[in-house]
Amino acid sequence: MSAEPNALCFGQEFPSSGEPCLVQVEDHGITVIFQSGAAEGRSESASFSALTVAAGGFDHDQLVVRWAGAAGERTLYLRHPDVIRAFRQAAPDQLRAPLDRAAEHVRQARHRRRTVWSMIGGGVLALSLGLWFGSDLLVEMAVDRIPVEWEEKLGESAYKDFLAHQDVMKEGLAVSAVEEITHRLVEQIPNNPYKFQVTVVKSDVVNAFALPGGYIVVFTGLMKKADNGEEVAGVMGHELNHVLQRHGLERIVKQLGLVAVLSIVLGDHQGLAGMMKQLGVELLTLKFGREQETEADLTGLQLLHRAKIDPSGMIRFFEQLSEKDEGRTEWLSTHPMSGARAERLKAELAAMPKMIPAPFSFDWTKVRGALGGEPVAKP
Ligand SMILES: [Zn+2]
């Protein structure tokens, strides 16, 4: 099999950014073939009767197919027009109505885009704004105009969606340790508009991520790799700052493009709300830019310093993660530890005033012990 991947598959064992795969449409249903990643060489089939479909993607031009497979929940984003066409042709009558609704979504999204464009009018204006857009200034202007409540709604739905398929830890040493770390950091954020919510997910995946609006997920796999609370605090300081600097919104606005930016700047929140409603899963796949990562690193380090948490734990952990990478370190795949990154952090740390760290109240050995003693993933 040498065909190019034509879809992205999401599931518990796949990277949070999805696993590229090849979808083949057959008479009875679909077969998904994985040509790379953890599932390389495997294929999974699902019959049409097991599937639900909806429109999705930033432009509502992707077909989202969900089912509960033998290996767990599956969400597939079909991007390629050929595979979407083949799917529509082969799908039985019971999928006809949702497929028509999905097609209607696409038409509406395109209509909204046309409406906004006609509002803009003059091509000269569009052109000059287009050039301006390239400078990111317009993106920042648009992001500044998005109310926090909006951002929270957006993040919350993706957060709930994600957690619904995860083994969430409700209590225990690990949860209270993460709560203490969060509290120590959040206390030091002046004029903080966010009610940060942090959830510990039982999973061997070495990862942590933040969604717009202040929703943060820490995997037990990451905690088990840490030698102390300061190291976990380093990752959290970085993630909290992605939220505070509104990096997620910047990415969304950039991906939605000029029209979305103009809608926000011109005050037309309505059309955009519709576009963003479908963003749920995509938020989890947002990749930040290099400047955003650097900003989160440096502001994270400063936050740790203000919270009197030893910031050297952050640097050490980032370096250690890259040394011990055993293939499941998701966080590293989105946060590659380059020499330049480490050097920048070390230089920043060296320039900071001396600080006497205040210890955490938990005993990290016990926290980690508690995690090791428990079953880590659902069967
Ligand atoms: Zn980051």
Domain tally for the chain? 2
- Give residue 220's pLDDT: 95
- Give residue 374's pLDDT: 43
Instruction: Give distance in angstroms: CA of 242 to centre of ligand 1.
Output: 7
Q: For residue 190, what is the DSSP state? A: T
- Give residue 375's pLDDT: 40
Q: Integer distance in angstroms from the first to the last C-alpha of the chain?
A: 31
- Give residue 368's pLDDT: 93
**Distance (Å, whole) CA 158 – CA 149:** 15
CATH at residue 64: 2.30.29
- Give residue 98's pLDDT: 82
Side-chain-side CA neighbours of residue 96 (13 Å): 3
Instruction: Give distance in angstroms: CA of 363 to centre of ligand 1.
Output: 27
- Give residue 206's pLDDT: 86
Q: Are residues 346 and 223 in the same domain?
A: yes
Structural domain of 335: 144-373
Instruction: Give distance in angstroms: CA of 326 to centre of ligand 1.
Output: 20
Q: Are residues 151 and 81 in the same domain?
A: no
Instruction: Give distance in angstroms: CA of 288 to centre of ligand 1.
Output: 7
State which H helix or E strand residue 96 sits in. helix 96-120
Instruction: Give distance in angstroms: CA of 293 to centre of ligand 1.
Output: 5
Domain finish residue from 103, 132, 157:
103
Domain finish residue from 47, 81, 103:
103
The phi and psi torsions of 172 (rounded to 5 degrees) equal 115, 175
Instruction: Give distance in angstroms: CA of 221 to centre of ligand 1.
Output: 17
DSSP character string of 204-259: S---EEEETTTEEEEEHHHHHH-SSHHHHHHHHHHHHHHHHTTHHHHHHHHHH-HH
Cα 165 to Cα 68, 202, 305: the distances in Å are 11, 11, 35
Asked if the structure places residue 135 within a domain, the reply is no
Q: Write the pLDDT tens digit of every residue in 203-258.
A: 988 889 999 899 999 999 999 999 999 999 999 999 999 999 999 888 877 777 76
- Give residue 181's pLDDT: 97
Antiparallel, parallel or unpaired: β 215-219 and 197-201: parallel
Q: Are residues 89 and 171 in the same domain?
A: no
Asked if the structure places residue 119 within a domain, the reply is no
Instruction: Give distance in angstroms: CA of 299 to centre of ligand 1.
Output: 11
Instruction: Give distance in angstroms: CA of 296 to centre of ligand 1.
Output: 6
Q: Are residues 328 and 215 in the same domain?
A: yes
Asked if the structure places residue 125 within a domain, the reply is no
Asked if the structure places residue 305 within a domain, the reply is yes
Q: Are residues 75 and 185 in the same domain?
A: no
Instruction: Give distance in angstroms: CA of 248 to centre of ligand 1.
Output: 10
- Give residue 175's pLDDT: 97
Instruction: Give distance in angstroms: CA of 30 to centre of ligand 1.
Output: 35
Instruction: Give distance in angstroms: CA of 238 to centre of ligand 1.
Output: 6
Instruction: Give distance in angstroms: CA of 376 to centre of ligand 1.
Output: 25
Instruction: Give distance in angstroms: CA of 168 to centre of ligand 1.
Output: 22
Instruction: Give distance in angstroms: CA of 297 to centre of ligand 1.
Output: 7
Q: Are residues 165 and 271 in the same domain?
A: yes
Domain finish residue from 51, 85, 103:
103
Q: Are residues 78 and 186 in the same domain?
A: no
Q: Are residues 178 and 77 in the same domain?
A: no
Instruction: Give distance in angstroms: CA of 52 to centre of ligand 1.
Output: 33
Asked if the structure places residue 238 within a domain, the reply is yes
Asked if the structure places residue 121 within a domain, the reply is no
Instruction: Give distance in angstroms: CA of 243 to centre of ligand 1.
Output: 10
Asked if the structure places residue 122 within a domain, the reply is no
Q: Are residues 171 and 255 in the same domain?
A: yes
Q: Are residues 196 and 86 in the same domain?
A: no
Instruction: Give distance in angstroms: CA of 331 to centre of ligand 1.
Output: 8
- Give residue 140's pLDDT: 79
Instruction: Give distance in angstroms: CA of 292 to centre of ligand 1.
Output: 7
Instruction: Give distance in angstroms: CA of 20 to centre of ligand 1.
Output: 22
Which three-class secondary structure state does DSSP give residue 45? strand
- Give residue 281's pLDDT: 38
Asked if the structure places residue 138 within a domain, the reply is no
Taking only the tens of pLDDT, the chain with its 379 residues reads: 468 888 888 888 888 778 889 999 998 899 999 988 888 889 999 999 999 888 776 556 678 899 998 888 898 888 788 888 888 888 888 888 888 887 777 777 777 767 766 666 655 555 555 555 555 777 777 778 778 887 888 788 889 988 999 999 999 999 999 999 999 999 999 999 999 999 999 998 888 999 989 999 999 999 999 999 999 999 999 999 999 999 988 887 777 776 666 666 666 555 555 666 554 436 777 788 888 999 999 999 999 999 999 999 889 888 887 776 555 667 777 777 677 888 899 999 999 999 999 999 999 999 999 987 444 333 3
Q: Nearest-CA neighbor of 247 among 299, 212, 281? A: 212
Instruction: Give distance in angstroms: CA of 87 to centre of ligand 1.
Output: 36
- Give residue 184's pLDDT: 97
Q: Are residues 24 and 167 in the same domain?
A: no
Whole-model pTM over 0.85: no
Q: Are residues 52 and 177 in the same domain?
A: no
